[in-house]
Amino acid sequence: MSVSVTQMKQFIGGEWVESSSGETLEVLNPATGEVLAEVPAGTGEDVERAVAAAKKAWSEWHSKTPKDRMELLLALADIVDENAEELARLESQNVGKPWWVAKDEPPAMSDNLRFFAGAARQLEGKSAGEYVEGYTSMIRREPLGIVAGICPWNYPLYMAMWKIGPALAAGNVQIVKPAEQTPLTLLRFAELAQEVIPPGVLQVVTGEGIPTGDALVRHSDIRLVSLTGDTATGKIIAKNAADTVKRLHLELGGKAPMVVLDDADPATVAEAIKIGGYFNSGQDCTASSRILVSERIYDDVLSQTVGVVDAMTVGDPASDDDIEMGPVISHEQQQRVLGFLERATDAEATIVTGGGTVGERGFFISPTIVTDVAQDSDIVQNEVFGPVVTVQPFSSDEDAIALANGVRYGLAASVFSENVGRAMKVAANLDFGTVWINEHLFPLTPEMPHGGFKESGYGKDMSLYSMEEYTRIKHVVVKLAE
Ligand code: NAD
């Protein structure tokens, strides 16, 4: 059967344009491997064009009131809600997301935009006053100007919304680049919203990390780059942004431990691992990819988890809305995950369940559990970003904390225990930006921050803390009449 391929363009200066090179990139459906669409392979020249349009837009947009900015964000939220089913179906197709995952994303996106619509009117600073006799000091919290957002492929439109909300609320103009694998929902959203977005205030350039993302990072007129992506990419961007002393917000990789104390209920833990480890095919920066279990309940937790994981339905999300887990994003990612498993078995690890591909087409990996792993092994230390969890026993709470913290990442963690005081003590000692107790992965809410420690990056998404990333503080001093 032939599939119709959609041709899409970039949204620059309120217009739909091809790449300056005329080149395009293919966008695949990871459940089938078929080409869904072609998008422009953006160039440095396209980024120049977007920056020129952003500068033009800035001259008007920066004099808008917080109320005006709120109204734009509320209009964008309404557009997400009105088109929620279409956006979720498209995301499901482009990322291979099961329907139960994809359908919950648009309501979370519009909620996020509405939170920032309110935040636009809540910018805070120190009170103006006479801190030195004869002078009044005041604080202006200002937008940065032109900011860029560079997005990953695991939650393409959702992560873009995390960047759009605070950037526009703070009064910036923004250029967003989706990941090359998953540009479709952001482009479609821009199409749906084009009537309400003043030209140049929010633009979408498509293309690969190099040259398109790189051109954003190196541009001297762009004052902030917010990246959600791999830690390796974050390090490259940090080096390349140094030449223009550009502000960065880095939401990078994770290797979240789930710490299961000896008084936790094994059945509850097994269900939590199903969500924490395999939601979105484990392609989640906060996925519970390392299960640390007290040796006293290790066998019970492992056997119950294997039962739950083996019962999961895996397949093309388009074939059935009840599919629980879809493919990974690409052939490259599939091979990467298999490479981790091969190296783990070479190092004497045991694949208790899963470990292979599923079906004849698409990029599937079966839900996998690996045991007998050393703390310093590749599969424990590095982000796999697929449906793979490792399970390690520990002997005491102190031992668990040491294992949990013994990685270079610091994004998220969880503790399972019936004893709240004990769980709190462990949580206080975990070196991660989010710690859940008796939960993993959820809830996320716009009022609360999301962001990592250590090599998981710095800065916060969501919450009023994220407004710090997108604003600058100016001290204005007035000499009073004598
Ligand atoms: P990636 O780092 O490969 O790509 C992310 C984005 O960076 C893409 O848009 C890509 O085109 C761009 N990019 C790549 N090289 C670049 C360069 N040299 N200059 C400028 N831009 C460049 O990440 P990915 O594979 O798309 O996403 C998966 C990663 O994202 C995982 O590591 C995951 O943990 C992380 N992630 C983190 C969070 C978080 O909140 N911390 C959330 C989601 C995903």
For residue 130, give the nearest of 480, 481, 482 by alpha carbon.
Answer: 480
Sheet holding 129-132, edge to edge: 129-132, 135-143, 471-479
- Residue 471: phi, psi to the nearest 5? -130, 160
Nearest atom, ligand 1, residue 450 CA: 40
The answer on pLDDT for 2 being more than 80 is no
pLDDT in the model for residue 375:
98
Measuring CA to CA, how many Å separate 345 from each of 141, 292, 389?
54, 19, 14
Largest CA distance in the chain: 85
Read off the tokens for 443: 């809830």
Active-site residue (options: 180, 251, 324, 383)? 251
Q: List, for residues 290-309, the tens digit of each pLDDT value.
A: 999 999 999 999 999 999 99
Residue nearest to atom 22 of ligand 1 (CA): 209
- 61-65, 277-281, 300-304, 461-465: least confident range: 61-65
- The 8-class DSSP code of residue 314 comes to B
Taking the centre of ligand 1 as the mean of its atom positions, its distance from the CA of residue 227, in whole angstroms, is 7
Read off the tokens for 280: 């979105």
Q: List, for residues 281-291, the tens digit of each pLDDT value.
A: 999 999 999 99
Among 153, 205, 208, 230, which residue has the most ligand 1 atoms within 8 Å of its CB, making it the best to mutate? 230
Average pLDDT over residues 60-77: 97
Q: List, for residues 356-366, the tens digit of each pLDDT value.
A: 999 999 999 99
For residue 203, give the nearest of 469, 16, 7, 471 by alpha carbon.
Answer: 16
pLDDT range class, residue 1, cuts 50, 70, 90: very low
Taking the centre of ligand 1 as the mean of its atom positions, its distance from the CA of residue 108, in whole angstroms, is 21
Average pLDDT over residues 103-109: 98
Average pLDDT over residues 249-259: 98
The answer on pLDDT for 133 being more than 70 is yes
Alpha-carbon distance 338 to 341, whole Å?
A: 5
Q: List, for residues 358-405, the tens digit of each pLDDT value.
A: 999 999 999 999 999 999 999 999 999 999 999 999 999 999 999 999
DSSP string computed for 401-424? HHHHH-SSEESEEEEE-S-HHHHH
Taking the centre of ligand 1 as the mean of its atom positions, its distance from the CA of residue 230, in whole angstroms, is 4
Mean pLDDT for all residues in the chain: 97
The yes-or-no answer on residue 285 being catalytic is yes
Q: Which residues line ligand 1 (CB under 6 A)?
A: 150-154, 159, 177, 179-180, 208-210, 213-214, 217, 227-230, 233, 236-237, 251-254, 285, 383, 385, 411, 452, 456
Taking the centre of ligand 1 as the mean of its atom positions, its distance from the CA of residue 178, in whole angstroms, is 10
pLDDT in the model for residue 5:
78
Q: List, for residues 36-57, the tens digit of each pLDDT value.
A: 999 999 999 999 999 999 999 9
The answer on pLDDT for 3 being more than 60 is no
Contact 264, 272 (CB under 8 A): no
Among 47, 217, 285, which residue has the most ligand 1 atoms within 8 Å of its CB, making it the best to mutate? 285
Contact 432, 454 (CB under 8 A): no
Taking the centre of ligand 1 as the mean of its atom positions, its distance from the CA of residue 305, in whole angstroms, is 30
Instruction: Look at the pTM and tell me if it is higher than 0.85.
Output: yes
pLDDT range class, residue 418, cuts 50, 70, 90: very high
Q: List, for residues 329-369, the tens digit of each pLDDT value.
A: 999 999 999 999 999 999 999 999 999 999 999 999 999 99
Q: List, for residues 205-241, the tens digit of each pLDDT value.
A: 999 999 999 999 999 999 999 999 999 999 999 999 9
The yes-or-no answer on residue 251 being catalytic is yes
Average pLDDT over residues 161-174: 98
Contact 26, 38 (CB under 8 A): yes
Residue 402's identity, in one-letter code, is A
The answer on pLDDT for 440 being more than 50 is yes
Active-site residue (options: 105, 180, 285, 455)? 285
